[in-house]
Structure 1
């Protein structure tokens, strides 16, 4: 790993005319990390005669060089391998008799970037992570074994209470990659996010995301919105609103709205949260979509709403969390309704328990129980995970 990074960094440094001592600093102050993540995922979904059972191991090697005159190189590889029989549909193994567990066998160049930082400005060019706000609109889908990353140029400006983040993206490297029809989303994407910390307790973020996909016109959209975060004792309040419409070669003209109101707080040893999120619809023809979101964080662990139904969705949820010694527990309930019309989209219970076995080794258990009504099918999912960071 260090040898590969040395060759790449030496070439880059030489092209910029840096001396050998600078190349030495690039390597001497570098950092290399190894991360192993084993996961067992089981899916019991109505409509399938067989249950899915997937054992997979993700191996991640990450390298970050030292910084010379503000310049830094980053390099990261991911490898996902299945252990035992493939009793699940990975989306590429042809096992369509089983429910989907979207973790195909892959070896992927996850990141390769050059970063330059000077005072308040940071510029990153190449393949990289881009996670904006809580990843409701732009994220890395890091829950899946193969991460979603972005090929492009990112500019970040930070000065006191103001910050701005702009990215031009030419290719999205999806969780199914690096080969196949679903591996990438190509196009012209402009992602703009700006934040103002009004006070220590109040902040407002404006965002504009224009996504024109070449071969996925149905996903193309322009989204303009605001997000407000307020910290009151004893709770935190988040409110967001956005409007979305078609762009590029999208075949349907539409305007759909997004709303969120969420409160979080502590009561003795219990953390609580409650929220109401709406992804609206334009007369039941086309709904608000979030094709680049880390969607697993929202609308239930069962991932039944990765694509918003045409009639939109209203999600009312409440969650509780606590710690039992070193074990962190959380339980969340969701109730889903159509935003357009009177359909009930079902409900879901989500449970999670995490345990830090050692400083570098963590265990995780998650369970999701989705009960369908007018949308989808009854689905139960179970995850057991061990993650080691070295």
Structure 2
């Protein structure tokens, strides 16, 4: 492991030392109370090692390039989970991304810019390393960790890519106000999918002072409301322009609703966003989404409308989202256009035996101009062959209606084996 990675891992613990004092105080009473029932022996005896191997072949045909990209990658993950003693537990996880065969694609790190991008840089990285404490409705974690909020539209782990996005900091989740759950995290570093090392194209890390605040309220068994505030203050990086660092500093406030009126279901969200920190931008943009679905027994059909608005020539930003889940799987809109984007979409999913089938159609246009961006069709077939082995075939094709974007076709074959 590179010296830089050792330094980053050490920083995970040292930067959280102050918060660690809180953990010591919280756990002191638990040690006295539970010491007769739990101990170091159980901490070790209940520990386990897990292995997860995910192979993926990704093909990209993009009109802007003379060559097609073909990426054959393997993510190998080893996870060590401790048992629990006095409410304390530890998790460590290491990922390695390797190439099988030629790297005929632009990983953002290998310099193969004649090919379309497949953002899976190779390397080895500590994916998670945290100390946790749980008791009486409280869950606390300090260190490098996975954080997924709601549907991951604003905060997520981008688990689709081989190198997952994880977060360095401290997180508290409290369920003591049932039916309300309070979730707060202070994050000083984001380990992005472009790591483990910085590249000429993208920084591998975003450092800064970030606060994730979310309150989930179970209104009823089939209805949930979330209120959130995501305050991002990302440091400038001298080697990259502000659009790849500090100008992603934003304050976002919003709410999210999900409910079921069987056989119908409804999702709705609204958020406002403004520039923050040392960002050189000056804007106030809006986000909203409405989606309805109906369960027809043999399949589920849905229709939705999502808008990321624009103000003063700046589009609404979601830099920490699991972006692949939204606005089409071809990933043409990972960065919101300056004139915003409207996405009308419909889809259906169902099963053919053990295989889950999905299909979606999108129409994209600008929110604050008359530009038509294009349309997209996405399809997927997922087969859990056994409890340990699964396979998925995925396809996306984007048909451009604007010179700002190009026709794009992508195919993925994923094989995953867990031990």
TM interval, short-chain normalised = over 0.9
Corresponding residue number in structure 2 for 1:385: 414
CA distance in 2, matches of 1:134, 1:349: 21
Corresponding residue number in structure 2 for 1:327: 355
Corresponding residue number in structure 2 for 1:193: 214
CA distance in 1, matches of 2:135, 2:299: 43
Corresponding residue number in structure 1 for 2:9: none
CA distance in 2, matches of 1:272, 1:389: 31
1:225 aligns with 2:242: no
Per-residue displacement from partner, 1:53-98 (whole Å, max 9, x unpaired)?
A: 0101110001110000000001000000000011101100010000
Corresponding residue number in structure 1 for 2:385: 357
Residues 190-339 of structure 1: matches in 2 within 5 Å? 190-215=211-236, 216-283=245-312, 285-339=313-367
Q: Which one of 176, 183, 187 corresponds to residue 194 of structure 2?
A: 176
Corresponding residue number in structure 2 for 1:8: none
CA distance in 1, matches of 2:160, 2:212: 22
- State the TM-score, normalizing by the size of structure 1: 0.94
CA distance in 1, matches of 2:66, 2:223: 52
Corresponding residue number in structure 2 for 1:165: 183
1:78 aligns with 2:106: no
Q: Which one of 29, 41, 53 corresponds to residue 58 of structure 2?
A: 41
1:345 aligns with 2:362: no
1:111 aligns with 2:139: no
Corresponding residue number in structure 2 for 1:366: 394
Corresponding residue number in structure 2 for 1:92: 109
Corresponding residue number in structure 2 for 1:4: none
Corresponding residue number in structure 2 for 1:142: 159
- State the TM-score, normalizing by the size of structure 2: 0.87
Per-residue displacement from partner, 1:274-313 (whole Å, max 9, x unpaired)?
A: 1000000014x10100000000000000001110000000
CA distance in 1, matches of 2:255, 2:101: 47
Q: CA deviation at 1:348?
A: 0.3
CA distance in 2, matches of 1:47, 1:88: 14
Q: CA deviation at 1:268?
A: 3.4
Per-residue displacement from partner, 1:108-161 (whole Å, max 9, x unpaired)?
A: 100000000110111100000010000000000000001000000000001321
CA distance in 1, matches of 2:281, 2:161: 31
SS at match of 1:85: coil
CA distance in 2, matches of 1:258, 1:322: 30
CA distance in 2, matches of 1:293, 1:119: 30
Give the root-mean-square deviation of aligned CA atoms.
1.5
Q: CA deviation at 1:24?
A: 2.4
Unaligned runs of 5+ in 1: 1-11
